[in-house]
Amino acid sequence: MQAGQALAKNDKNQGVRDVIPARCITIRLPDPSWRTVVNQTPVKAMDPERIPELPVTRMNSTHHDEVALVNRIARCLGEAGAPCDELDSLLTEWVTHTEAHFGRENRWMQTYGFPAYPIHAGEHERVLGHLRDLCARWRDSGDTSELVRFVNEEWPRWFEQHLAGMDTVTAQFLAQAGGPDLE
Protein backbone atom coordinates (compact mmCIF):
# COMPACT_ATOMS: atom_id res chain seq x y z
CA MET A 1 0.00 0.00 0.00
CA GLN A 2 1.23 3.42 -0.91
CA ALA A 3 1.74 6.01 1.85
CA GLY A 4 -0.93 8.27 0.30
CA GLN A 5 -3.52 5.50 0.28
CA ALA A 6 -2.92 4.73 3.99
CA LEU A 7 -3.49 8.38 4.89
CA ALA A 8 -6.74 8.60 2.92
CA LYS A 9 -8.03 5.39 4.50
CA ASN A 10 -7.34 6.53 8.08
CA ASP A 11 -8.72 10.02 7.64
CA LYS A 12 -12.49 9.37 7.60
CA ASN A 13 -13.44 13.04 7.35
CA GLN A 14 -11.24 13.77 4.37
CA GLY A 15 -14.16 13.62 1.91
CA VAL A 16 -16.30 15.90 4.05
CA ARG A 17 -13.52 18.47 4.39
CA ASP A 18 -13.10 18.49 0.61
CA VAL A 19 -16.72 19.65 0.26
CA ILE A 20 -17.09 21.91 3.34
CA PRO A 21 -14.02 24.04 4.04
CA ALA A 22 -12.89 24.09 7.67
CA ARG A 23 -14.18 27.14 9.43
CA CYS A 24 -14.41 28.30 13.00
CA ILE A 25 -17.92 29.12 14.20
CA THR A 26 -18.10 30.95 17.51
CA ILE A 27 -21.34 30.56 19.37
CA ARG A 28 -21.65 33.06 22.21
CA LEU A 29 -23.32 31.29 25.10
CA PRO A 30 -24.96 33.54 27.71
CA ASP A 31 -22.68 34.24 30.62
CA PRO A 32 -24.62 33.24 33.77
CA SER A 33 -23.29 36.31 35.61
CA TRP A 34 -25.21 38.52 33.13
CA ARG A 35 -28.54 37.20 34.34
CA THR A 36 -28.26 39.22 37.50
CA VAL A 37 -26.84 42.66 38.17
CA VAL A 38 -23.42 42.46 39.80
CA ASN A 39 -22.44 45.70 41.47
CA GLN A 40 -20.74 46.56 44.74
CA THR A 41 -21.35 50.34 44.65
CA PRO A 42 -24.41 51.86 46.35
CA VAL A 43 -26.56 53.76 43.84
CA LYS A 44 -28.55 56.75 45.02
CA ALA A 45 -29.72 58.72 41.92
CA MET A 46 -31.63 61.93 42.73
CA ASP A 47 -33.85 63.39 45.45
CA PRO A 48 -37.17 64.60 43.89
CA GLU A 49 -37.04 67.55 46.31
CA ARG A 50 -34.27 68.99 44.14
CA ILE A 51 -36.52 69.31 41.08
CA PRO A 52 -37.30 73.02 40.54
CA GLU A 53 -40.89 74.11 39.98
CA LEU A 54 -41.15 75.66 36.50
CA PRO A 55 -44.03 77.73 35.10
CA VAL A 56 -45.07 74.94 32.69
CA THR A 57 -46.99 72.16 34.46
CA ARG A 58 -46.35 69.52 31.79
CA MET A 59 -42.58 70.03 32.07
CA ASN A 60 -42.75 69.58 35.84
CA SER A 61 -44.69 66.32 35.64
CA THR A 62 -42.24 64.96 33.05
CA HIS A 63 -39.27 65.85 35.27
CA HIS A 64 -40.86 64.18 38.31
CA ASP A 65 -41.68 61.07 36.27
CA GLU A 66 -38.10 60.89 35.01
CA VAL A 67 -36.55 61.20 38.47
CA ALA A 68 -38.91 58.46 39.77
CA LEU A 69 -37.87 56.22 36.88
CA VAL A 70 -34.15 56.84 37.36
CA ASN A 71 -34.54 56.11 41.08
CA ARG A 72 -36.08 52.74 40.15
CA ILE A 73 -33.07 52.11 37.91
CA ALA A 74 -30.76 53.10 40.78
CA ARG A 75 -32.49 50.62 43.10
CA CYS A 76 -32.15 47.88 40.46
CA LEU A 77 -28.47 48.69 39.88
CA GLY A 78 -27.76 48.79 43.62
CA GLU A 79 -29.55 45.57 44.39
CA ALA A 80 -27.19 42.60 44.38
CA GLY A 81 -28.69 39.89 42.22
CA ALA A 82 -31.42 41.99 40.61
CA PRO A 83 -32.49 40.36 37.34
CA CYS A 84 -30.87 41.81 34.23
CA ASP A 85 -34.21 41.51 32.44
CA GLU A 86 -35.62 44.08 34.84
CA LEU A 87 -32.70 46.46 34.31
CA ASP A 88 -32.96 45.97 30.56
CA SER A 89 -36.64 46.93 30.45
CA LEU A 90 -36.10 49.89 32.82
CA LEU A 91 -33.32 51.22 30.58
CA THR A 92 -35.54 50.84 27.52
CA GLU A 93 -38.22 52.79 29.39
CA TRP A 94 -35.67 55.50 30.30
CA VAL A 95 -34.61 55.97 26.67
CA THR A 96 -38.25 56.07 25.50
CA HIS A 97 -39.16 58.53 28.26
CA THR A 98 -36.19 60.76 27.45
CA GLU A 99 -37.01 60.73 23.72
CA ALA A 100 -40.56 61.88 24.51
CA HIS A 101 -39.36 64.42 27.13
CA PHE A 102 -36.78 66.05 24.86
CA GLY A 103 -38.94 65.71 21.73
CA ARG A 104 -41.81 67.57 23.43
CA GLU A 105 -39.59 70.43 24.62
CA ASN A 106 -37.98 70.68 21.17
CA ARG A 107 -41.37 70.84 19.51
CA TRP A 108 -42.61 73.57 21.89
CA MET A 109 -39.45 75.63 21.39
CA GLN A 110 -39.94 75.48 17.63
CA THR A 111 -43.68 76.16 17.78
CA TYR A 112 -43.26 79.21 20.01
CA GLY A 113 -40.05 80.48 18.37
CA PHE A 114 -37.67 80.14 21.33
CA PRO A 115 -34.46 81.92 20.20
CA ALA A 116 -31.99 79.54 21.90
CA TYR A 117 -33.64 76.46 20.40
CA PRO A 118 -30.45 75.16 18.68
CA ILE A 119 -28.45 75.25 21.94
CA HIS A 120 -31.15 73.59 24.06
CA ALA A 121 -32.03 70.99 21.41
CA GLY A 122 -28.31 70.30 20.82
CA GLU A 123 -27.88 69.53 24.51
CA HIS A 124 -30.85 67.15 24.37
CA GLU A 125 -29.33 65.36 21.38
CA ARG A 126 -25.93 65.00 23.07
CA VAL A 127 -27.33 63.55 26.31
CA LEU A 128 -29.78 61.21 24.59
CA GLY A 129 -26.95 59.91 22.39
CA HIS A 130 -24.79 59.32 25.46
CA LEU A 131 -27.61 57.46 27.25
CA ARG A 132 -28.20 55.24 24.21
CA ASP A 133 -24.45 54.48 24.00
CA LEU A 134 -24.27 53.56 27.69
CA CYS A 135 -27.22 51.18 27.37
CA ALA A 136 -25.72 49.58 24.27
CA ARG A 137 -22.35 49.09 25.99
CA TRP A 138 -23.98 47.47 29.02
CA ARG A 139 -25.99 45.14 26.77
CA ASP A 140 -22.81 44.23 24.96
CA SER A 141 -20.51 43.72 27.96
CA GLY A 142 -22.75 43.12 30.98
CA ASP A 143 -20.53 45.56 32.89
CA THR A 144 -22.62 47.98 34.96
CA SER A 145 -19.77 50.26 36.12
CA GLU A 146 -20.38 53.01 33.53
CA LEU A 147 -24.12 52.96 34.20
CA VAL A 148 -23.56 53.15 37.96
CA ARG A 149 -21.28 56.17 37.55
CA PHE A 150 -23.77 57.85 35.21
CA VAL A 151 -26.77 57.28 37.50
CA ASN A 152 -24.82 58.15 40.65
CA GLU A 153 -22.92 61.21 39.50
CA GLU A 154 -23.15 62.45 35.92
CA TRP A 155 -26.89 62.30 35.26
CA PRO A 156 -28.13 63.91 38.56
CA ARG A 157 -25.58 66.73 38.17
CA TRP A 158 -26.50 67.27 34.52
CA PHE A 159 -30.26 67.02 35.12
CA GLU A 160 -30.21 69.53 37.96
CA GLN A 161 -28.13 72.01 35.95
CA HIS A 162 -30.24 71.51 32.84
CA LEU A 163 -33.49 72.15 34.72
CA ALA A 164 -32.07 75.18 36.54
CA GLY A 165 -30.65 76.63 33.29
CA MET A 166 -32.05 75.80 29.87
CA ASP A 167 -35.38 74.34 31.00
CA THR A 168 -36.07 77.29 33.34
CA VAL A 169 -35.36 79.88 30.64
CA THR A 170 -37.41 77.90 28.11
CA ALA A 171 -40.34 77.46 30.51
CA GLN A 172 -40.37 81.19 31.32
CA PHE A 173 -40.38 82.02 27.60
CA LEU A 174 -43.13 79.50 26.84
CA ALA A 175 -45.28 80.72 29.73
CA GLN A 176 -45.00 84.33 28.49
CA ALA A 177 -45.79 83.21 24.96
CA GLY A 178 -49.07 81.64 25.96
CA GLY A 179 -47.70 78.37 27.25
CA PRO A 180 -47.72 74.82 25.96
CA ASP A 181 -50.01 73.71 28.82
CA LEU A 182 -52.72 73.91 26.19
CA GLU A 183 -51.46 70.54 24.89
Choose which of 105, 109, 144, 173 interacts with Fe ion (CB under 5 A).
Answer: 105
Name the one range near Fe ion by CB under 5 A: 91-99, 102-110, 111-119, 150-158: 102-110
Q: How many residues bind Fe ion (CB under 5 A)?
A: 2
Interface map 120-159 toward Fe ion (x if CB under 5 A): ----------------------------------------
Nearer to Fe ion, 65 or 133 (CB): 65
Cβ(170)–Cβ(60) under 8 Å?
Answer: no
Q: State the nearest-atom distance from the C-beta of 171 to Fe ion, in Å.
A: 8
Among residues 137, 140, 149, the alpha carbon closest in space to that of 78 is found at: 149
Note whether 167 binds Fe ion by CB under 5 A: yes
Contacts 24+ apart (CB under 8 A), 14-19: none
Q: How far is the CB of 121 from Fe ion (least distance, A)?
A: 8
Instruction: Report the distance separating Cα 77 and Cα 41, nearest Å.
Output: 9
Give yes or no for a contact between 154 and 47, defined as CB atoms under 8 angstroms apart: no
Gap between the Cα atoms of 77 and 151, Å rounded: 9
Site string for Fe ion, 62-101 (x = CB under 5 A): ----------------------------------------
Q: Which is nearer to Fe ion, 45 or 105 (CB)?
A: 105
Alpha-carbon torsion (61, 122, 119, 150), positive or negative: positive
Residue type present at position 38: V
- Contacts with Fe ion by CB under 5 A lie at 105, 167
